[in-house]
Structure 1
Amino acid sequence: MDIRAASREYVAFMLRSVSGPKALLVDEVTTGYLSLVYTQSEMALGDVYLIDPLESSGKREPLVEFACLIYVRPTQRNVALLSKELQNPCFGAYYIYFTGPISRRDIEVLAESDKEMLVRDIRELFSDFYALKPNLFTTKTHLCSIGSRVVDGIISALGALKRYPTEIRYQGNSNLCSKLVNSLGGAIDSNRDIFLSKRSKNTEIHGCSLLLIDRTEDPFTPLLTPWTYEAMIHEFLGFDLNSIVLDKSGDAAARKHPEENQIVFNTIHDDFYREHLNSDWGTVCVAARKMVEGYQSSIDEKSGATKSDTADFDDLRDRISRIPMLQRQAANVKKHVNVTTEIGKQIRYRDLFSLGAFEQEVMRVHAPKEHWRTFCEILKSHKSMKTNDIARLALLFILRYENEDARSLTGEKSGFAKSALYTLSGGSPTSSSKRESPTTSSMVLNVLREHNLGHVLSTERVQRFVDRYGSYARCMNTLPKGSDNILKTVFGAVKSVGGDHEQSWYTQHEPFVLNIVKLLVEDALPAEHFPTYHSELANTEAFFDETESKDVIIFVTGGVTFTEARVLEEISSEWTKKHSGRKTAFEFFSVGDSKSASKKKIRAPRVIIGSTDVITSSTFLEEC
C-alpha cells in the first residue's frame, strides 16, 4: 500500500487522458494535493502549459485550441464556479475530475450549464487528502475536527488504496472517535456501491482493518524532542506541506532572495533527503559532510580539467554537459547545509542534547526521586531554554509521575512538600492541607514559580491537560513502574534479531501506536477498549480479495507525528524483507511474556496512518 503513489497515479491518469496542449484548473485545496505528488516540470512534460485557479473564471483569455482539465473538490462553491465557466467557456473541451463522490443533482446543474456541450468527461478520482508520505496522509483540518472534511478524506483514502474496511475498530472512551465512527460508518455504507461497482469491474478491492485512535492515548510522543531528519525539520522549521521557510524574520536578505529562503523537499528528485529522512541526527550530519566533500571533489576535478591544455572537443563537450548536473548538485548541497546548520543552531542554543537525553530517560526508567532532582536542576539553568521547552518538559514529568506523592519525589516528609501546599493554598496551611500530600502537578507548578517561571503554565492549563491526557483518560497506555524499557509490557514486544544499525539513545522511545498495531494484527486488541463498529457489509471479508499481509489503515484524531509514521513504515518494510526471504529485524509474539510466549502464525502488517494534521510539540501544546 502506497497512498502517495495512488494519488500520483490519479494525476498521471488525468494527463494521459487527453493529448495535445492542456490547461489545468484547480482550487485552493487541490493545488496542495498536486504539489505533493507532481512537479511543475513533470506537468510541462504532460503538455500542461497553464495552471490557473478555477475562481479566475471570466478573467482568462480564450484558448479554444487547449483542452481543459479541471481538478477540484466536489463542493457547492466549486460546482457554482464550474457552472460559471461552462456558461462562458474559454477552452475547446472540458474534462472534469472531482476528488470524491459528486451528487447526481450537481451533475445535472453542470449539464444544464454546458450549453455548448464541451464537457467530454466527468470522473471521480479518490484523492481528497494530502499524501505527505507513502504511508501518511492528512486532511489539514483543525486537530480535533471530525466534520465532513475528515470523513471525505478517509473515504477517498480507502478508494485510492482500493481497500474496503471489513473491520472497523475505534477507541471506546473517546467522544471524538465515537462521533467519527458513526459519521464514517454511515458514509461508507452510503458509498458502498462505489466499492462494489469497482469489484464488479474486475478491479481488485482488498479488505482491510480501519482503526480510529484519539491523540489522548499517547500524549508522550508529541512532547518529546524528535531526532530523525524529517521530524526535526518539521519540529524546528515547520513544514507547510513539502516546503519550509528557512528565515521567518522577514529581514532584507530573505526578502531579496525569496527563492532561496523557501525550500522544497521532494523524495523523488532529492537523493539525500530520500536516503536520510528517517536517519538520526548524527547520521545526517556525517552524510551532509560527505555530500559537501563529494561536491568539492567534483569542483576540483572540473577545475583541474579546465586548466588542461590537451583537451579535445569530446572532453569539452563532456565538461559542458556536466555543468547542469553540477548546478543541481550545488543547489542541493546548499539546501541541506543551510537546513542542518539552522537545526544545529537551535540544538546548541536550547541545549537539546541534554534535554533530549533526560526525556528519553524519563520515558525509559521509573525513577521519580532522581528525575525530580534532575528536573529541578534543569530549571535552574532555564535562561537558555525556550518557554515551549520548559512547558513540554514540565507536562511530560507530570504525565509520567502524576500518581506519585511528594515523598516519592523528594524523599522528605516536610519542607518542600509543605511549601508546595502552602503556595497553592494561597495562605497558611489548612487542616486539610496538613493531612493531604501534594500532587505532582502542584509540585511542578510550585518549582516553576520558585524559578520565576510561573507564567509558563497556569494551574488551569495543567488541570485541563491532565483531565484530557492523564492516566484516567487513557484506556491502555499506562507506563510501568519497573526500571525496564517501557516497550517490554504485557502487550508484547518487538525483538531485534539483527538490525542494520544500533539504535540511537535519543530515538529509543517508540510510540504506543506500535503496540496497538501489534495487538490488532494478533487479534488481541481488547474489545472493551476498542469496540467494533458493525457496518452493513460487516463479516463480508470473503467477498473481497485477500492479501498475504494484514492491511491496516489508522486515523488519529488530534494530530499525528512524523515519528509515528516512521515506526509504522519500519514495521511495513521489515515485513516486506521477511516476505522476500531476507532476515528481518522484527518478530511478533503472542500477548504475554515475550521470553516464554509461543510464536503464532499471523499476517504481518502493512500500515497507512492518517490524521487531521501533522503536529509538532508547539502545535500540540497550543491545543492544551
Structure 2
Amino acid sequence: MDPTDALDGIASIRSYIDRLVTADGRATGMKVLLLDATTTQIVSCVSSQSEILGRQIYLVSRLGDQGTKNGGHSLEFKEEAHTGHMKAVVFIRPTQSNIGLLIQELSQPRFSEYHIFFSGIVSPSLLNLLAESDEKERVKQVQEFYADFLPINEDLWSLNCRNTLQMDTKQQNMLYDRNLMGLQSMLLAMKRRPYAIRYQGSSRVAKKLAGDIHESISNDDIFHFRRGAGANTGNFLLLIVDRMDDPVTPLLSQWTYQAMVHELLGLNNSRVILRGAPNVSKDLEEVVLSSAPGHDTFFASHRNSNFGELGEAIQKLLQDYQARSKEHSAGNLRSIEDMQNFMDKYPELRSQSHTVSKHVAIMGELARLVEVCSLMDVSAFEQDLACSEDQAGHLRQLMTKLDQASIKIPDKLRLGMLYALRYENSSPKNAISAVKEAMKRGGVPPSNVALVDAVLRYAGSSVRGPGLYGSNKDTASKLMKSFMTSVQGVSNVYSQHSPVLMDTIEAAVKGKLRGDTHPMISGSGGRTTTFVENLASPQEVLIFMVGGMTYEEATKVSEFNQTNAGRIRVVLGGSTVHNSTSFLEELKTI
C-alpha cells in the first residue's frame, strides 16, 4: 500500500528517505548526503544516523559546510581526493539562500555527480538559475520531494517554525511563506486535494492562508492527482485554525507522557536534555524520544499514557528487563550453547538496558519536578480556572497562591494569565489590576506581569472567535460533560479540560461547523462563503494550526482517531509544537 494512503506523516517521509538514499534508483555505490538545517531535522525525525550511514551513505553533511554535527556525532568531510569519485545526494528546501549555496558548490564541484531533491515546489526562475550554473554538467537529476514538514507522530506534523503567533505583518512575510510552503507540502505528500477548505473566521492569517492554498490547488496541475495513484477519493477537508482562538491550552500543566516531557523538560527534534538533573549518568544527559517505527516501542505505546499509568508501565518494563537479565546472568551460563544464546541476545539486552535506564531517568526527573514545583496543587487550580466559573472563589484562591513561596514564579505567571483570560470582562473591573500587583509581590518580574495584557491583546474576548468558555446556549452540554467526568472518574481533576480544537473537530465531522465562525473558500477566484449547511461530512481532515499546537491537542486527536478508527481520520499539523515556555516567549514579541 502506498504510505500516503494511510495519512501517516512518518510513513510518507520514510518513503521519501528510502528513495533519497538511492537517488531515486539512479545512483549506486557509496554516496554523500548534503542537507540544510531544516531537512536535517526532517531526516532525523524518522531515521537515525546509523540507519542512514548503513545504507551506502558515506557521510552526512550540511550544504556549504565542511562538517557538521548530527545527533551528537561529528561528521567531517574527507579530502576531495577521497570524495571526488563519489555521488552527492542533495536534499534541501527550495529557498534562494540554498540555491545560492548550491550554485557555489557547483562552481567548484567536489563530487562526480549531483542528484538534487527539493523538499517543496521550486519556482521556474530558481530552476533556470540552477541550470545556468551547472557549467560542468554534474547535475544528473532535479526532483521535488514533498517533505517540507517534521512528522512527530503519525498524526502530528510540525513545521518547527517559531514566532508565528502574529505573522500577518509585512516584516514577517518570510514566516508566512514558510507556513504556506509547509502546508502545500503536507497536501502533496499525502496526495490529497481537499473537497473543501474551511478557515477560522476571526483570523486574518488563516483566511489568507486558505485563499492562497485554494489558488495553488486551482492553478497548479501538480495538485491534480491521478486516481489510483495514492490520491484520496473520499471527502478530505482542509481546516485552517489559529492558536489565537485558544490561548488557554498552552498555559496548562500536562499529565500525559509526551506532553509532560515537553512541558517540564523540553522535547525538541525528538531529544530530551537531562543534563544537570540529579542522579543522571553521563550517557543519559541527552536522550531520544521518537514515535518513528524501530526507535522506541515503549514510548510509541505510552506517549499518551497519564502519569499514573506511566509509572506502572515503567515499573513493569524494569521488572521484565530484570527477569531477562537474570535468565542470562553468568551463573546460568553452564554450557557452550548457553554462552552462544547469551551472545545472540546480548545486543538486544544492551538496547533494552538503555531503554529502561532512559525511561526510569525521565520518570524520576518528572516526579521530582512535580514535587518540588507543587504541580498537583497548581494543576488542580489551573483546571478549575479553565473549566468552571467562580470569580470570587477563584480570586481568593489565586491571591493565596500568589503569596505562597512553594509555587514557582512561572506557575504564578500562568495562573494570573488564566484568571485574566476568563474574567477580563467580569466585575469588579479592578480585579485583574489587583492580580497583577499581587503577582509582582509574589516575585513575578514586571516584564512578565506585562504578559497578562499581552495575552489579552493577542487572544482576548474581543479578538478570538467564540467557544473558549462556551456560551449560555451550551450550559446544559457543559453540565452533562461535568457529570460524565465525575461518573467516569476521568483520572481526576487533572484532565477535565478539553481544547477548543476538539469541539471544532466534532462539529466538522458531523457537518455542523458553523459557516459564520468557519467560512469556506470556494469557486474561481477563491470566493468566501458562509453558506455551508449542505456540506458533506468529511472522511479525512487535515487541521493546520497557525501559531502552533500543543501535545494536549495532539493527544486528544490521537484518542479521537482510535475511537473512530476505520470511519474517519484527523491529522493535526501546524507552525510548531508549544509548551507554556515557548508560548510565553512568543507572546513577549507581541
Q: Is the 8 A contact 2:197 2:237 kept in 1?
A: yes
Partner residue in 1 for 2:182: 153
How far 1:64 sits from its partner (Å)? 4.4
Partner residue in 1 for 2:308: 282
Cα shift readout 1:19-40 (whole Å, capped 9, x = no counterpart): 3222111111111110001112
1:130 is aligned, of 147, 150, 153, to 150
- Counterpart residue type for residue 10 of structure 1: Y
Deviates most, 388-397 or 35-44: 35-44
Q: Output aligned runs, 1:238-387, within 5 Å.
A: 238-247=266-275, 257=282, 259-267=283-291, 268=293, 269-303=295-329, 306-308=330-332, 311-381=334-404, 383-387=405-409
- Judged with a 3 Å threshold, the aligned counterparts in structure 2 of structure 1 residues 486 and 100 are, in CA distance, closer, same or farther, namely farther
Q: Is the 8 A contact 1:27 1:53 kept in 2?
A: yes
Cα shift readout 1:345-402 (whole Å, capped 9, x = no counterpart): 1110111011112222233332333333322332232x12221100111111222233
Between the aligned partners of 1:59 and 1:289, the Cα distance in structure 2 is: 46
SS in 1 for 2:146: coil
Q: Is the 8 A contact 1:169 1:531 kept in 2?
A: yes
Cα shift readout 1:570-611 (whole Å, capped 9, x = no counterpart): 1122111xx3xxxxxxxxxxxxxxxxxxxxxxxx53111122
Partner residue in 2 for 1:558: 547
Between the aligned partners of 2:584 and 2:500, the Cα distance in structure 1 is: 19
Between the aligned partners of 2:142 and 2:387, the Cα distance in structure 1 is: 55
SS in 2 for 1:163: coil
- Counterpart residue type for residue 570 of structure 1: E
Residue 618 (structure 1) aligned with residue 581 (structure 2): yes
Residue 143 (structure 1) aligned with residue 164 (structure 2): yes
State which structure, 1 or 2, has the greater radius of gyration over its C-alpha atoms.
Answer: 1
Between the aligned partners of 1:460 and 1:89, the Cα distance in structure 2 is: 53
Residue 7 (structure 1) aligned with residue 31 (structure 2): no
Q: Is the 8 A contact 2:157 2:573 kept in 1?
A: yes
Q: Is the 8 A contact 2:509 2:538 kept in 1?
A: no
Task: State the aligned residue count.
Answer: 546
TM-score by length of 2: 0.84
Q: Is the 8 A contact 2:118 2:145 kept in 1?
A: yes
Q: Output aligned runs, 1:413-562, within 5 Å.
A: 438-448=429-439, 451-453=441-443, 455=445, 460-480=450-470, 488-489=477-478, 503-534=491-522, 536=524, 550-562=539-551
How far 1:477 sits from its partner (Å)? 1.5
Cα shift readout 1:400-425 (whole Å, capped 9, x = no counterpart): 2333323xxxxxxxxxxxxxxxxxxx
How far 1:458 sits from its partner (Å)? 6.7
Partner residue in 2 for 1:227: 255
How far 1:319 sits from its partner (Å)? 1.4
Q: Is the 8 A contact 1:166 1:208 kept in 2?
A: yes
How far 1:231 sits from its partner (Å)? 0.5
Residue 390 (structure 1) aligned with residue 390 (structure 2): no
How far 1:292 sits from its partner (Å)? 1.8
SS in 2 for 1:488: helix
SS in 2 for 1:466: helix
Q: Is the 8 A contact 1:404 1:439 kept in 2?
A: no
SS in 2 for 1:384: coil
- Counterpart residue type for residue 50 of structure 1: L
Q: Is the 8 A contact 1:552 1:606 kept in 2?
A: yes
2:111 is aligned, of 91, 112, 115, to 91
How far 1:71 sits from its partner (Å)? 0.6
Between the aligned partners of 1:494 and 1:121, the Cα distance in structure 2 is: 59
2:52 is aligned, of 13, 25, 43, to 43
SS in 1 for 2:147: coil
Q: Is the 8 A contact 1:519 1:525 kept in 2?
A: yes
Between the aligned partners of 1:569 and 1:140, the Cα distance in structure 2 is: 20
Partner residue in 2 for 1:544: none
Partner residue in 2 for 1:173: 202
- Counterpart residue type for residue 584 of structure 2: L
How far 1:501 sits from its partner (Å)? 9.7
Between the aligned partners of 2:231 and 2:585, the Cα distance in structure 1 is: 43
How far 1:174 sits from its partner (Å)? 1.7
Cα shift readout 1:523-563 (whole Å, capped 9, x = no counterpart): 22221121112354979xxxxxxx99621111112221011
Cα shift readout 1:480-503 (whole Å, capped 9, x = no counterpart): 588x9989359x979989x99954
Q: Is the 8 A contact 1:126 1:159 kept in 2?
A: yes
Cα shift readout 1:443-466 (whole Å, capped 9, x = no counterpart): 4224435x4446357775423322
| Identity in percent | 29
Cα shift readout 1:160-206 (whole Å, capped 9, x = no counterpart): 0111123111122223323333444444444x21112x327945244
- Judged with a 3 Å threshold, the aligned counterparts in structure 2 of structure 1 residues 389 and 486 are, in CA distance, closer, same or farther, namely farther
Between the aligned partners of 1:137 and 1:204, the Cα distance in structure 2 is: 19
Residue 54 (structure 1) aligned with residue 63 (structure 2): yes
- Judged with a 3 Å threshold, the aligned counterparts in structure 2 of structure 1 residues 538 and 552 are, in CA distance, closer, same or farther, namely farther
SS in 2 for 1:97: strand
Unaligned runs of 5+ in 1: 407-437, 540-546, 580-603
Q: Is the 8 A contact 1:222 1:617 kept in 2?
A: yes
- Counterpart residue type for residue 620 of structure 1: F
Between the aligned partners of 2:449 and 2:326, the Cα distance in structure 1 is: 61
Q: Is the 8 A contact 1:238 1:244 kept in 2?
A: yes
Q: Is the 8 A contact 1:127 1:157 kept in 2?
A: yes
Deviates most, 211-220 or 43-52: 43-52
Between the aligned partners of 2:179 and 2:374, the Cα distance in structure 1 is: 38
Between the aligned partners of 1:481 and 1:538, the Cα distance in structure 2 is: 32
Q: Is the 8 A contact 1:392 1:621 kept in 2?
A: no
Partner residue in 2 for 1:19: 28
SS in 1 for 2:109: coil
- Counterpart residue type for residue 129 of structure 1: F
SS in 2 for 1:199: coil
How far 1:504 sits from its partner (Å)? 4.5
Partner residue in 2 for 1:100: 120
Deviates most, 50-59 or 235-244: 50-59
Between the aligned partners of 2:475 and 2:579, the Cα distance in structure 1 is: 23
Q: Is the 8 A contact 1:181 1:533 kept in 2?
A: yes
Deviates most, 260-269 or 556-565: 260-269
SS in 2 for 1:147: helix
Partner residue in 1 for 2:532: none
